[in-house]
Amino acid sequence: MTSELDIFVGNTTLIDEDVYRLWLDGYSVSDAVALRVRSGILEQTGATAAVLQSDTMDHYRTFHMLERLLHAPPKLLHQLIFQIPPSRQALLIERYYAFDEAFVREVLGKKLSKGTKKDLDDISTKTGITLKSCRRQFDNFKRVFKVVEEMRGSLVDNIQQHFLLSDRLSRDYAAIVFFANNRFETGKKKLQYLSFGDFAFCAELMIQNWTLGAVDSQVDDMDVDLDKEFLQDLKELKVLVADKDLLDLHKSVVCTALRGKLSVFSEMEANFKNLSRGLVNVAAKLIHNKDVRDLFVDLVEKFVEPCRSDHWPLSDVRLFLNQYSASVHSLDGFRHQALWDRYMGTLRGCLLRLYHD
Amino acid sequence: MPGKLKVKIVAGRHLPVMDRASDLTDAFVEVKFGNTTFKTDVYLKSLNPQWNSEWFKFEVDDEDLQDEPLQITVLDHDTYSANDAIGKVYIDIDPLLYSEAATVISGWFPIYDTIHGIRGEINVIVKVDLFNDLNRFRQSSCGVKFFCTTSIPKCYRAVIIHGFVEELVVNEDPEYQWIDRIRTPRASNEARQRLISLMSGELQRKIGLKVLEMRGNAVVGYLQCFDLEGESGLVVRAIGTACTLDKLSSPAAFLPACNSPCKEMKESPLVHPPSHGCRSTQNSPIHTATGSRLTQNFSVSVPTLIYTGMGSGSAGKEGGPFKALLRQQTQSALEQREFPFFTLTAFPPGFLVHVGGVVSARSVKLLDRIHNPDEPETRDAWWAEIRQEIKSHAKALGCHAVVGYSESTSICEEVCILSASGTAAVLNPRFLQDGTVEGCLEQRLEENLPVGCGFCHIPYDELNMPFPAHLTYCYNCRKQKVPDVLFTTIDLPTDATVIGKGCLIQARLCRLKKKAQAEANATAISNLLPFMEYEVHTQLMNKLKLKGMNALFGLRIQITVGENMLMGLASATGVYLAALPTPGGIQIAGKTPNDSSYEQHISHMQKKINDTIAKNKELYEINPPETSEEVIGSPIPEPRQRSRLLRSQSESSDEVIELDLSHGKKDAFVLEIDDTDAMEDVHSLLTDVPPPSGFYSCNTEIMPGINNWTSEIQMFTSVRVIRLSSLNLTNQALNKNFNDLCENLLKSLYFKLRSMIPCCLCHVNFTVSLPEDELIQVTVTAVAITFDKNQALQTTKTHIEKSLQRASTDNEELLQFPLELCSDSLPSHPFPPAKEHLESASSNSGIPAAQRATSVDYSSFADRCSSWIELIKLKAQTIRRGSIKTTVTVEKASPMGEGNFRNRSAPPCANSTVGVVKMTPLSFIPGAKITKYLGIINMFFIRETTSLREEGGVSGFLHAFIAEVFAMVRAHVAALGGNAVVSYIMKQCVFMENPNKNQAQCLINVSGDAVVFVRESDLEVASTQQAAATCQPLCTGGEVTT
């Protein structure tokens, strides 16, 4: 006796969250059954392995049919074939677009192209995430990227509107799209200590302040590209380190203000010029695409690592950066106050986030 | 020209890409009705076209309006080649033809293609302007309402229940051109869909005409079926119950009517005509049935058995003079009808007086290839013959009517088994005819009807019983005789007193059969049928006893014929009726008592069986009434007093019974394990696993013993096909496979729905088919409904308080009659006739029927039948009478009405979002009130694929198709303005595959009633009382007002 056909169709489509997770994680039906058996479900329900097998197959079939719709979530809402309560629809979409931290760290900032897709095998081996799941996550990134890439308006809003994701997940995707578009390098060894959350935080700040959309929401609002004019203008900041008087003045203003407030004052005083040079040079170089890509590498090399080697506490870094950016306003010879604020405001936020072990 | 149909095509969405180059589609729409076609403009390059067309107007006869579906075809415009069809939508405009139903059909419909499935959606608006036509010779029957629901629809009141209507139409099956590869599969499928749609419309119109002829205005319990007879044609047939219904406008207006429906009836201008039945005529303009040969007929009637040719006694022993009068009234009312059948399974209170037992008839026919429309021997005649037999069985049981009536067929190649079954019953004439019954008599009759047990009392003559049965005095009223078990095809009457909960009971059986051709095949099948029927019955009986229950409701026995086997599947809901005696246990007896190991084995089995019975009693809360009183924990003086009073009236006779029974003959139903077959039986009895805790299941509308439904429902269809290994095909192996298939299927359902616990699977409907030699297909449709465990206690309590009040009032009323009745009727029935009967039966029993030569000839029918009866009589001897205990009945909540009523206060579920359409095979929606019936949904779909593997194999293909069917049903209901389908049924699911060719085809036919329901909000709690009355529109009979 063999089962040729075995189906269950409910008027309301049954979604088993546990099986959905197994499916998303890319397990085959037999692996999923084995995992479910291990979870002790048979003992809880008194079911047999055959029942579990049939149930798992059925759910997998349903998910497979739903997958087409999940590629364009608004379709899931309007389609008539599966009657699914709204809360469940939201859950299906949210889980489908959720991604693994380990995976996203591997592809963040990489070009979402076929070439990268080929690397998925290696990523799968490295992270222990099934290839199937890697593919889904990669395809999700790529799909979202394709849809919102050329779109006007707020990146987060666009993602939310076209993929019906939660606010949190939309922001994450905005970061992924932003990183993929600007190809920021995140894979270097010295960046390994950073989490996706760190990068996403920086991405959000940059989108808010450094893109075209940040200046004027009315114009061709492109959230994914950095404001070229702004990058161009950043060269002007060079004067802060090139002009020796200005640099000394800047240092003395900062040191006066912070004396007695920092535990690492002497180290700061000794390192001020190096740090300032580092930060200003990063700004001045951003006009080149290659240097944009290396932004995070530079920030870590030029600022985070020197501070960390001197054991600056985070509170001191904060005090220093606040004072460092604010004191520029009292430098009489410096004319680019607004530009400095746009640059340093964002950078300060990023650096504070990046500064940890 | 009495109708104008107006159609507007608004827009499309999610269309498929038809032009690969541009990834877009140039879509336009053809709207066709009858022979008229309109077209919209082409909307270029869009997957979401906005046609926003003008109103297309069709001026048509109302006859066409009823027959024809509106056909909407979406196409892709192609300048250089033929336009490609994207898909179609068929819209049945019938719901627009009744005044009270939908006024407009408007909404998004899935665009369906028989090869590709659903391909986007189209927004359509349809309206109908009807002109009144007073032509009395008209051929249309617009305005007659159709309901699939097998009870009086919730927002209507039955003024008159006229009776049986039936019709069938026959045509050639267009599929045969497909087989000949004359046209593309798509064209063939579409021709078939369209033809069936047309035939259904015609059938419905003709039935409507008959209803009008009977002066009715509605058909309730409408059941339409297709017989795919292959080369000999396509039959569409329908049966139903004609009624005159009154719309209940508001609960307030309804309440007074509820108390005096008879008055209303007299005022009603409708005079029931001397109805001359409703003989079906073969005047189909399409085609008449092909002539074919009758092969064999045979029939059986069950409770504990059987049709004998004995005349029915209409002496009305149990009721005294009033009952006799009533009987006469009913008789005269019903005898005017050719077939006093009712497709209803639930009735207004007081309608059902007595229930005799299940009557069924089957007949094996050969479908003839010869096409001769003039041949008088048609399918109509076949059915007439079967119905005649059912009628005579009912008569033998002392009943004038058959309720819960249904018909079905099973076809394999050219052999067809026609089956009909129902429950023989005595009905109250009040609803059948008006004005003929004297008011005062009626009044007295009503008071006379015992509450909650009347329907159990035997309708037949005790001295002249149609079969050997064991009669005892009713455990509820103690006045009249009841059988020891009761089998019926109807739902549990709402006023029945039930102890504990019910459960689904199934008997499953397979019999191998030699492959044969034509008549030899038909003969082989005919010879097997009585044995199957008998074994199914025995199995049901054993399982019922094993559950410790004494009655079956909703019994449905399906016999399916295949190339090399016959399958029998009986499903029913077992309950413990308080009025019937406690069932005896099952005793196992061996044949070789000397063998000690054998005896040990037997005693081991016996112990197992006894344990199972005890476990089941606990599981289903079947406690003797005395203990159930204690469980509830409140002293109930009233019923006690009542029972004492009643007993004192019938003291003398009661004593006699108890004496008679106290002979120490301990109950028991003896199973003799004298051969391996019987061993098998015992084993199979014990293999049925009870549902996991928190789950209950039944195949009736409502679960006896559960009355506190919460609002979560989940309707589902599950299909399984297994392939038998051809090597070891023995009856035992087959039985085991089939049993496992069903059990595993149930287990899977319980597992899948575990998140709904505590819940009950209601209306579990199994269908078996044998699509190929070694394939068995089982299709299950049911609904899971959650209920509140905690609430149960409260409700029982409050209900008991209520019933106490009622009981006390009843007491006074009842006192007067029983005195009279007992004095004259009871002493005239000495008890032992049953015993006599048994003896006589055993003396004339002959050779088992199996050994008798059977011939194909119809004339041998009587002969066969009698030998078959003898066989059963032999077995019947092993049934001993159950012991009788004095009982005090506690009235439990009547699940239906009260259940609904309680739901009113249930927390309203998450507000239903736009577009949610509920589907349920039940006639009600828990926690909600149906406010409007929008019309019948009757849809037929074909789906075919030539890329089976790519669509996920057979499972993927069928899964997608069923999901699509649900979607299309929901879309149609939503377009009618409804939010639910009730009485939903999947009548056919024919699946064929050819994996080698990567092909599969499936036909599905579904129907139901589109309704609007309103969820009960907390606000309504105040008006609960009123609302409760509405959901039980006809609360007359049983309730005696003080």
Q: Using an 8 Å CB-CB cutoff, list chain A residues near B782.
A: none
From B747, B775, B970, residue closest to A80, measured CB to CB: B970
**Cα dist. B916→B437, B785, B911, B930 in Å?**
48, 17, 10, 16
Instruction: Give the C-alpha separation, B770 to B772, whole Å.
Output: 6
- The DSSP symbol for B24 reads B
Q: CA angle, B561 as apex, B556 and B566 as ends, to 5°?
A: 85
Instruction: Give the C-alpha separation, A102 to A79, whole Å.
Output: 34
Inter-chain residue contact B722 with A85, CB threshold 8 Å:
no
Closest Cα partner for B678 from B602, B614, B612?
Answer: B602
**Per-residue model confidence (pLDDT) at position B868:** 44
Q: Dihedral (C-alpha) B991, B997, B999, B1000: value to the nearest 10 degrees?
A: 0
Q: Using an 8 Å CB-CB cutoff, list chain B residues near A58.
A: 752, 959
Q: How far is A299 from chain B (nearest CA, A)?
A: 46
Q: Does B665 touch chain A (CB under 8 A)?
A: no
Q: Which two tokens stand for residue A108?
A: 């963040």
**Per-residue model confidence (pLDDT) at position A232:** 87
Q: Using an 8 Å CB-CB cutoff, list chain B residues near A67.
A: none
| SS3 (DSSP) at A131 | helix
Q: Using an 8 Å CB-CB cutoff, list chain B residues near A37.
A: none
DSSP letters, B867-881, are HHHHHHHHHHTTB-P
Q: How many CB atoms lie within 10 A of CB A162?
A: 17
Query: Which residues of A touch chain B, with CB atoms under 8 Å apart?
Result: 1-14, 45-48, 50-52, 54-55, 57-58, 61-62, 64-65, 75, 78-83, 85-86
Q: Using an 8 Å CB-CB cutoff, list chain A residues near B916.
A: 83, 85
Q: Which two tokens stand for residue B763?
A: 């209306």
Query: Of all residues in chain B, what percent are helix, strand and coil, respectively (each to 5)?
Result: 35, 30, 35
Closest chain B residue to A53, measured at CA? B748
Q: CA angle, B831 as apex, B830 and B835 as ends, to 5°?
A: 125
Inter-chain residue contact B723 with A12, CB threshold 8 Å:
no
Backbone torsion region of residue B664, taken as left when φ is above 0, otherwise alpha when ψ lies between -120 and 50, otherwise beta: left
Closest Cα partner for B627 from B534, B722, B740, B500?
Answer: B500
Q: How far is A18 from chain B (nearest CA, A)?
A: 13
From A3, A7, A52, residue closest to B958, measured CB to CB: A7
Inter-chain residue contact A8 with B716, CB threshold 8 Å:
yes
Q: How far is A7 from chain B (nearest CA, A)?
A: 5
Q: Using an 8 Å CB-CB cutoff, list chain A residues near B121.
A: 80
Partnered with residue B417 across adjacent β-strands are: B364, B410
Q: 10-residue block means of pLDDT along chain B (1042 residues)?
A: 85 89 88 92 91 91 82 89 88 80 85 93 90 57 84 85 87 68 80 89 89 88 88 86 80 35 33 31 29 38 33 29 45 63 86 85 78 58 88 85 91 88 84 45 45 74 65 78 86 84 90 84 87 86 87 92 90 89 75 68 80 83 56 35 30 29 37 57 68 87 82 92 79 86 91 89 92 89 87 45 40 33 36 40 38 36 42 37 31 36 35 69 89 90 91 92 95 92 92 88 93 72 44 38 34
Instruction: Give the C-alpha separation, B517 to B369, whole Å.
Output: 14
Q: Tokens 């003039």 appear where?
A: B374
Are B799 and B1028 in contact, with CB atoms under 8 Å apart? Answer: no
The model's pLDDT over A150-204, given as tens digits with 9 standing for 90+, comes to: 888 888 999 999 999 999 999 999 999 999 988 899 988 889 999 999 999 999 9
Q: Does B949 touch chain A (CB under 8 A)?
A: no
Q: Using an 8 Å CB-CB cutoff, list chain A residues near B751.
A: 45, 47, 51-52, 55
**3-state secondary structure labels for all residues of B767-832:** EEEEEECCEEEEEEEEEEEEECHHHHHHHHHHHHHHHHHHHHHHHHHHHHHHHHHHHHHHHHCCCC
Of the pLDDT bands very low, low, confident and very high (cuts 50, 70, 90), residue A70 is very high
Helices (H), B71-165: none
Asked whether the whole model's pTM tops 0.90, one would answer no
Inter-chain residue contact A47 with B970, CB threshold 8 Å:
no
Inter-chain residue contact B747 with A75, CB threshold 8 Å:
no
| SS3 (DSSP) at B468 | coil
- Cα distance between the two ends of chain B: 56
Number of helical (H) and strand (E) elements in chain B, helices listed first: 21, 32
Closest Cα partner for B464 from B95, B806, B836?
Answer: B836
Instruction: Give the C-alpha separation, A153 to B840, whole Å.
Output: 95
Instruction: Give the C-alpha separation, B812 to B791, whole Å.
Output: 32
Partnered with residue B423 across adjacent β-strands are: B358, B403
Q: How far is B916 from chain A (nearest CA, A)?
A: 7
Are B224 and B237 in contact, with CB atoms under 8 Å apart? Answer: yes
Helical (H) or strand (E) element with B412? strand B401-412
Q: Tokens 């639910």 appear where?
A: B980
**3-state secondary structure labels for all residues of B312-333:** CCCCCHHHHHHHHHHHHHHHHH
Closest chain B residue to A54, measured at CA? B748
Inter-chain residue contact B721 with A78, CB threshold 8 Å:
no
Q: Using an 8 Å CB-CB cutoff, list chain B residues near A88.
A: none
The model's pLDDT over A297-350, given as tens digits with 9 standing for 90+, comes to: 999 998 999 999 988 999 999 999 999 988 888 887 788 888 888 898 899 999
From B719, B917, B960, residue closest to A65, measured CB to CB: B960
Q: At what angle do helices A314-326 and A265-285 cross, to 10 degrees?
A: 60
**Per-residue model confidence (pLDDT) at position B643:** 31
Closest Cα partner for B315 from B385, B398, B255?
Answer: B398
Q: Which two tokens stand for residue B238?
A: 């329908």
Instruction: Give the C-alpha separation, B465 to B749, whole Å.
Output: 43
From B14, B692, B720, residue closest to A3, measured CB to CB: B720
Q: Does B13 touch chain A (CB under 8 A)?
A: yes
**Per-residue model confidence (pLDDT) at position B769:** 92
Inter-chain residue contact A6 with B716, CB threshold 8 Å:
no
